[in-house]
Structures are given as C-alpha cells and as structure tokens.
Amino acid sequence: VGTVEYLIRLDDACPTMDREKWAAVERVLVSHGVAPIVGIVPDNADPVLAPCPPDSGFWDTARGWLKRGWHIALHGYRHQLRVAHRGLVPIGKLAEFTGLPWSEQRQRIREGVRILRSHDLSPQVWIAPAHGFDLGTLQALREESTITVISDGLSRRPFRHLGFTWLPQQLWRPRRMGSGLWTICLHPNGMQEHDIAALERFLSSRPGGFPTVQEAAARAVAFGAEEVLFGAAFTTLLAVKNVLRGRK
Ligand SMILES: [Zn+2]
C-alpha cells in the first residue's frame, strides 16, 4: 500500500478575480500550511473570470503568494476559450491553445511569460485553460519558457512524458482517495461558503501528505502501461458522469 498525497490547485487568478473569495480560500490553506499551485491568466479576456473590477493590488497579492511558497503557474494567455479538437488530455471540448498554429501558440506563451516576469513572477508550471493543449503547445513551452512541469493528465502518479514532468489532475473537489498523487483543482471565483467549508473540513481531516511541486515531480516515473490504462478508465468514468449530468 503506497502513500496518498494531494496537491491543491487554484485556477483563474487575474486582476478581475473575486478577491474576497480568494482571500477566504487563502486563509484556509495558510492555516493548514498548504502551498497550492496557482494558475495566473496573464492577460485575461474571458468575461467569466471578471466578476469584479480590476484590482490594482493584484500583482502585489501574487508576489505575496510566491513569498509564501506557492507555485506560480502560467494559466494560458488570455483564457479565450473556443471549441477545439481533442488535445493531449481528453477532457472537455474547449481550448485556448489546442489546434492553433504553432507560431501563434509560441507568441501567446512568449507574451504570457513576459507579462508574468514583468511582475517578478517566473512561472514553473503550465496549466492549460480547459485542459486544452497539444504537441505544438509543448514545443512553444520549450522554446519560450523555463517550464518543465505540467499540471494535467489522468494518472494515479506523476510521470515523465514528451520531455515534461506531469503532475496528474483528477479531482475538482476535495475527496479522500487511495494511494497515489491526487490534484484537486479548485476555482475560487465560483466557490460558495459551503465549498470553502468543505475544503477546511478536508484539510482538518489530515487526508494525507501535501508535497511541494518539486517533491512530487521528483517521484515521477516513466510514462507506461499503468498511465495508459488509468487514463482510459478515467476518461470513460468522466464520459459517464457527463451523460448523467446531461440527463438532469
Ligand atoms: Zn481556467
């Protein structure tokens, strides 16, 4: 029986985020000593991520996260989602990146990294908006960033694949799991009080370890049969869930 570990991931940080909700989530994580991966949209153009007017203090807040040991992730460039073909991770039908010409992907990565660096934030992790990215995105990341870690993929453990270390992301709410590394992706902008309370209860229950990105990445194994099988089973599970959801 192996150990169970969790990473917490917070998506959609940008100047127009819901500051009060983010602060509430931050308080819970800090009180439990958990440092999440936080995905920052460098130049947001998605109205869904703009529930509030722009906060001139946002970049100070983000540098504060970095000082706390949080892991800064590049979460796309403008979060402009459109319907796209299936990318490397078979979740959903939307993407900012999948299917764009490589030169355009490269330009978006370059500009996104430039914006974050201009605020003294050098991203070390990639989080694709809506899980949408392809081989061209990986090539653009190689050319235009120092990112070596991808927060995505369906597996039970971290793995090395296509020249990157993948920290799989399988959960969208706190849930106790069996052995493995589980990333729980949260969207603070959309969290209600009961969601924040559920996070607090989960962390208080001491469900397992909370490694840093570096610790998790150091345990990555070569991509192999187990990753393929788990991915196929999980994709089927997600498809069934989507069908059930559609019937409601
Ligand atoms: Zn997002």
pLDDT digits (tens, 9 = 90+) for 86-107: 899 888 889 999 999 999 999 9
Task: Give the pLDDT band of residue 50 (cuts 50, 70, 90).
Answer: very high
The C-alpha angle 191, 84, 47, rounded to 5 degrees, equals 40
- Cα-to-centroid distance, 12 and ligand 1 (Å): 5
Model pLDDT, residue 174: 97
- Cα-to-centroid distance, 122 and ligand 1 (Å): 19
What's the count of helices (H) and strands (E) in the chain, helices before strands?
7, 11
> Is the pTM above the cut of 0.75?
yes
- Phi/psi at 4 (5° precision): -115, 130
d(Cα 109, Cα 245) in Å, to the nearest integer? 34
- Cα-to-centroid distance, 130 and ligand 1 (Å): 6
**Contact assessment for residue 128 and residue 79, using Cβ atoms and an 8 Å cutoff:** no
pLDDT, tens digit, for every residue of 211-224?
Answer: 999 999 999 999 88
**Contact assessment for residue 53 and residue 89, using Cβ atoms and an 8 Å cutoff:** no
Q: Using alpha carbons, list the distances in angstroms from residue 89 to 37, 44, 150.
A: 19, 23, 11
Model pLDDT, residue 225: 78
- Cα-to-centroid distance, 18 and ligand 1 (Å): 14
- Cα-to-centroid distance, 159 and ligand 1 (Å): 23
Task: Give the pLDDT band of residue 248 (cuts 50, 70, 90).
Answer: very low
d(Cα 122, Cα 146) in Å, to the nearest integer? 8
Token pair recorded at residue 218 = 């150091």
User: How close are the terminal C-alpha atoms of the chain, in Å?
Assistant: 38
List CB-based neighbours of ion ligand 1 within 5 Å: 11-12, 129
